[in-house]
Structures are given as C-alpha cells and as structure tokens.
Structure 1
C-alpha cells in the first residue's frame, strides 16, 4: 500500500476537508522535508574514514587578529581516507558539533544530511601508503565538499582539507569545539559587488590568497609530522605523491602552494580567479583548471554592470583581463595544462550545495547553475580523479585526452576560447 494512501486512511477528516489531491500534495511536501538527504554513495573499492585535528603554526602571527593582539596562527583540518571500519560502525554526522551552526546561515537542516565516512576508522590495509591531496576551500567549511572527498578517498586518496580560521560563514570550528566568528578581511571583500578600485581589490585578495597558501604549506608540514608519529595515519601517507586543489580563492591558493613548494607535484583549480603573482608567472607543473559558466566574462561589460556583476565597465574590463588572461597564461605555461568548463555549472556547484536540502532563501541557490547536483558530482569527481591518477600515480586517464560522449557537459578548450567575449563587448 502506498504511503500516501495510508496517510489518507489515517486522516479521513483532513481528506474530506482538503480533498485527496491536496492532501497528497501536502503529504509529499512534508515527506520531502522530513526525509534524509543522502550524499552519493562513493564508487571506489574502499570504505571511507574521517578525522579532524587542530594545530598551532608557531612560525606565523594570526593575520586576522584584533588590532593590537599578537598571537600565532591556529588552524584545523579534516581528513578523509581509505578505511576498514569495524563491523557495525556507523558514519558520522555530516556536520559535527560547532559546524552545525553554518547550516543556519546557508538555510538547510544539517541533521537531515547523511554522509558515508566513519569517524576514526582504521586505515585500509591493502596498500602501505596512499597519495595525498591537500585542499583549500573558500567561504564554505571543508565539510561542504564531503561528497567529492569521500569519492576520492574511496578510490585510494587521502584528502586533507584545511579550515582557514575566520573564513567560514558564519563560524569556523576547531576539532576541540572552539568557535571563531567570521571576519570579513579573510575573504578580501569577495562576497559583494566591490565599490573599491580594481587595484585595491587585487591587493586585498592577493593578501588573502597568500594567507591561504601559507595555511596549506603549514598543513603539509603538519602531515609530515603525523606521518612520522604514532597516530592513526602514521606511515600511511605517501607525501612523495602530493597534489593540491582548491575552490574559488582556494584554487588560487593551491596554485601558489605548488609554485612555492617543491613537495607539490600537481594542482587543480576549481573555478578560482587568479589574484596572485602565479597568474602572471605561470606554473610549470601539471595543472588542471575546471570552470563554471561565467557569462560576466562573455557578454558585453555594460550588460555585466547592469546585471550587477561589476560596479563599472572599467572594473569589468580590468577583471576580465586579470581572470581570463591569468587562466590562459597558467594553461599555456603548465606542464601539461588542462582547461575544462562544465556546462550548466555555477560557482557553488563545486560544493555539496547542489545535493543539500537548501531552502529557497539560501544564498547558495543563486550560484548553483542549472546542472543536476548528482551529475555535477559525477563529472567533477571523474575529471579530478583522472588528473591526479595520471600525474600522481602514472595511471591511464583517457578522459583527459579529448571530448567524451559520456561527459557531454565537459568542454575541453583553452580559457581564451571558453571565455571569448561576445561581439561588441
């Protein structure tokens, strides 16, 4: 018997008053609100574990400390890894305590979301060590990329995502439960249409990228200490096969890390603009750039201004040159370079937001594009895995060699072709 039929039978008065069709609609809405939102099941041969840890970077001052307060930079990270959970072990919550507050800001019920990683599960034994990927988010907590990280971990990668303190909206949480409220300086004014000059914004955001890149370098240092220690992941990380990736300004930070640190062998930029010097100098390492659709870089600048993407035509033109020019130089100077646009993707499509039960008023909904959330997860996961498989594990990756009929959303072309201005712009 269908659940809606049973509901009608249990509530004959409501059925009589509202009618069967209206009550069925109401039942379906209530059911959708109460049913869990389950992240996609990882497809790899491994189960997935998850742990978090905090540390202090004693070599750096906190860049976002209150005026007159000097103290070292404190950081936190989450790790996803191939695991062998004990029988009956259950996945942890999508958003552990502290991080649950972020779901109020992004307007969804965090307790409804189900992930797959098991907290503290033993590391899988078939391989002695696993390649490592470090990740830099932007504005969103690291946990809002869980579906992607679980998929990569299920295929044999250890993913370590740093939480850039003060950056997540509205709070950052440490593993020990401490909270830090968002501070606007940590995003360089990137959350609204800027009224500053383009030069001022470039300086502010380059400074943010520098902090984030140094956070990544500190994370790699900490992973080396964990590798040499006696904890859960000791001896299980292959830091000779280290890759980096990031989203938005985190993608810029990942590229800066690879430019500064020889330990990084390959890097992927997920829809990140280029504010720092790496966009001018290039990066002679394997580099993948994955893009959303960006109409603001294709349509005439006066239209972009009228759509409130930029404050002025002059700002639009300068930003287009900085972004598209930087992407093109990086692509041309990489060894080798890959440039892929995912049709229908918006800037937030690289997070879990397309899979979450977001309410209509959630700001993230405006930046999701038109692609289905599960399809985006599949396309993004497979392109990223192909890239790191090829350049960290010397494995075949035919998906990178040209257009695939199985991935019609993926457009492989140089950035200058993907973002060629429309006539008259």
Structure 2
C-alpha cells in the first residue's frame, strides 16, 4: 500500500498537470450553457477574497511522514470589499484546488462565485467582526456561498485549510500540495470497527490539533491587523466568533473553551469528542443539526444500513453523542439547539448548489432540502446569532419557531435525538 502512495508523493507535479490537462479538455468539450451561479450575496457590501500561507514554528506537523516538518496552514479570507468597476470574480476553486472537484463529481469551471481576489476593503474606518471557520474534509471553498453572504453583511470570515485533512488534497496559496491522510480525521470517514473508547481518544486528538490551528490563526490575525497590509486596522478582534462543520464544529467549540478571545461559537452538525463535551463553555453557543435517522431507529436497523459496525458500538456512540450535546447546550450562556428539517450532513456545504454528477457520493448526504433554501436558512440563523452576540443587535429569529423558517425545529438535543431502547 505504501508504494503507490510514495509514487504519488514523488510524482505529484506530473500527475497534477495531467489531471489539470484532462480537466481542461473535458471542459472544452462541454457546452457553456450549463454554468451555475452561486446565490448572490444580499448584504450592503461587495466581497473580496485573499489567501495566506502561515507557518507555526512552535508546533510539529502531526500528520507528515517526516519528523522535522512544522505545522503550516493555508488560510482563505472573505471580507467586505469595494470592488472596482469591471473587476472579475475569482475562480470558485483556484489553482490546484480544482483537483478536489474530480473527487466530489462536478466541473469547477462551470461554477461562478462573486468574491473578487484582493479587492480593496470597503471604504471607511469601520472595523469588522471576525469569524474563524474550521471545516472537515471539505476544502474551505466548498462553503463559499455562505462565506460570501456573511461577508456581504459586514463580517470577515477566515477559513482554515487544515493540512492533510482536505479531500483528496490540501493546497497552499503558493501552489504546493499535500495528500489527504486518514489520521487527520481520526478515521471518521469510514464505519469504525475498533472500540468506541479508542475512537473517542483518536478524534479528541484530532480536535485538539484543529483547535490549536484556530488559536494560531487568531494570533496571526492580530499581527495582520497591526501591520500595513490590505486588512490592517480593519479587523475587530474584540468581536471574534468561531464556527465549524462536522469535526470542525467540535474544534470551534474546543477553541472557545481554551481561548478567551472567542466570544460566541456555532457547531454545524458536528459530534463532540473532546473535553468541551464534558466541561461545557459559558458563552453563547448555537448547534445547527441535520436530520440523523441513524440516531432514531433501533440499532439493529442502523447496523443493517451500515451506519455502525455493531449494535454495541451504536448504543455507546449515540448515548455519548447526545449526552455531550445536551451538556454543552445546558452549559452555554445562552444555548440554542435547532434542527433543519430535510438537511443532510453535506447540506451545510455548497454541495446542494453545485452541478454534481449523478454518481457523486456527496449526493448521498445532502438530504431532501433544496440547496438554495438551505443556504438561506443557514445564512439567516448564523447572521441572527452573530449579530446578537457580537454586535448586540436584535435577532428575534433566535427566540423560537418562525413561520418564515418552517424548516427550523427548536428542541434540546435530548429531545431531537431520543435514544431508543435496543
């Protein structure tokens, strides 16, 4: 198994060029009438985008084959901008990030986003609140529609590419590529066949790395804000929020437990594996869940559906997950727990908006909610939450069920995911 991996690592440049060339030929053979435009941002600001590569000399790279490498991250930033007339939006997947579309099953050149690369920051002296985002396996760009909407309403969104975790590759801003390594997600992308206790330890370690990544990036943002670059003096790091998807949701919560600079946090359909599920955090916390039938049906049925390897593992995991969610929800000040009816795990990404091919496995976890509607519901609740807790603005949408958002079910985790008896 190591030989093909080593071959790929040693010949990555040539293989990447072949893949890009094949993708270009395929694009030329397709008609242009099937282009897809992401939803237009609705806020008062236009949107810019830029990227950085940041090296943390204090930390070893935990997933690299060598022992001497330091932890290095690629970071993408969406921000309120003043776009010059005639400026063209940047590519949805820039550079070698296009290789990820081959895995997820769509043609990246067919997708049009709205952010303009390195556009000037919006005029004035206003400082903008900052949101740091942790994904899981999906590259930061697969949340573009959401980030553009948040930026258009006056937020700076800083999304991490956790190196070795993105599928199938992580790409640095300067074009370097790192292949995915299963250890970077604690083997969470397959049905586990080891004891649940061991999975908890593995994934807690992964979450710890991701939380450290977030703290390091906030350190870099402080330096960026104090410097002379494009965003200098425009970041309001006293109004800092965090959010994440899947394992990234746990990482965002763990970061907020460890780092007092974080004022509010959102978990987008993420299980909890780390200490935060035991200790909680006395800060504003929002959990947005997809539907999870594997948590509601008898374990025997979930095993037959290949959601779990055994009934014992199923029972342990469901009790562990629901207890952790409920404990964190109860400790938050205040806590919000909302399930989006019809949402699947991938519905929190752009996948519901992308021209996925029929065989794309991302379709299997999209749920039944239409992509544009999911984007609107998700955007509205995130804007309401961060507006209330970072900007002290009214947000009645958070106060309970709203007829304009019938998909949103307000219930504590223990009610949403009542664990049935075996």
Matched with 2:59 is 60
- The CA distance in 1 between the partners of 2:167 and 2:359, in whole Å, is 16
- The CA distance in 2 between the partners of 1:420 and 1:34, in whole Å, is 47
Which of 207, 214, 222 lines up with 1:216 in the alignment?
214
1:98 partner SS = helix
Matched with 2:136 is 138
- The CA distance in 2 between the partners of 1:421 and 1:71, in whole Å, is 44
Which of 82, 85, 88 lines up with 2:83 in the alignment?
85
- The CA distance in 2 between the partners of 1:363 and 1:278, in whole Å, is 31
Shift of 1:34: 4.2
Distance change >3 Å, CA 341–CA 144, structure 1 → 2 = same
Matched with 1:102 is 100
1:257 paired to 2:262: no
Contact 2:60 2:67 in 1 (8 A): no
1:264 partner SS = coil
1:99 partner SS = helix
Which of 270, 273, 276 lines up with 2:274 in the alignment?
276
- The CA distance in 2 between the partners of 1:334 and 1:193, in whole Å, is 31
Contact 1:81 1:154 in 2 (8 A): yes
2:95 partner SS = coil
- The CA distance in 2 between the partners of 1:34 and 1:195, in whole Å, is 46
Shift of 1:363: 1.4
Shift of 1:259: 0.2
Shift of 1:321: 1.2
Distance change >3 Å, CA 189–CA 118, structure 1 → 2 = same
Alignment of 1:374-413 (within 5 A): 374-413=372-411
Contact 2:319 2:419 in 1 (8 A): no
Matched with 1:148 is 146
Structure 2: gaps of 5 or more residues:
1-28
Shift of 1:87: 1.2
1:50 paired to 2:43: no
1:221 partner SS = helix
- The CA distance in 1 between the partners of 2:30 and 2:56, in whole Å, is 47
Matched with 1:160 is 158
Distance change >3 Å, CA 318–CA 358, structure 1 → 2 = same
Matched with 2:121 is 123
Q: What per-residue deviation string (whole Å, max 9, x for no partner) do you get for residues 96-127 of structure 1?
A: 00100000011100000000000000000245
Contact 1:34 1:112 in 2 (8 A): no
Matched with 1:310 is 308
1:134 partner SS = strand
TM-score scaled by structure 1? Answer: 0.91
Matched with 1:21 is none
- The CA distance in 1 between the partners of 2:72 and 2:419, in whole Å, is 43
Alignment of 1:164-183 (within 5 A): 164-183=162-181
Matched with 2:234 is 236
- The CA distance in 2 between the partners of 1:94 and 1:208, in whole Å, is 28
1:356 paired to 2:379: no
Give the total of aligned pairs.
Answer: 394
Shift of 1:322: 1.4
TM-score scaled by structure 2? Answer: 0.92
RMSD: 1.2
1:91 partner SS = coil
Contact 2:352 2:372 in 1 (8 A): yes
Shift of 1:421: 3.2
2:301 partner SS = helix
Contact 2:318 2:419 in 1 (8 A): no
Structure 1: gaps of 5 or more residues:
1-29
Contact 1:146 1:352 in 2 (8 A): yes
Shift of 1:51: 0.3
Q: What per-residue deviation string (whole Å, max 9, x for no partner) do you get for residues 221-268 of structure 1?
A: 110110011000000000000000000000000000000001000000
Runs (4 or more) in structure 1 with deviation over 3 Å come to 30-34
- The CA distance in 2 between the partners of 1:415 and 1:338, in whole Å, is 10
Matched with 2:295 is 297
Shift of 1:35: 1.5
Matched with 1:205 is 203
Matched with 1:10 is none
Q: What per-residue deviation string (whole Å, max 9, x for no partner) do you get for residues 286-327 of structure 1?
A: 000000001111111111111110001110111101111111
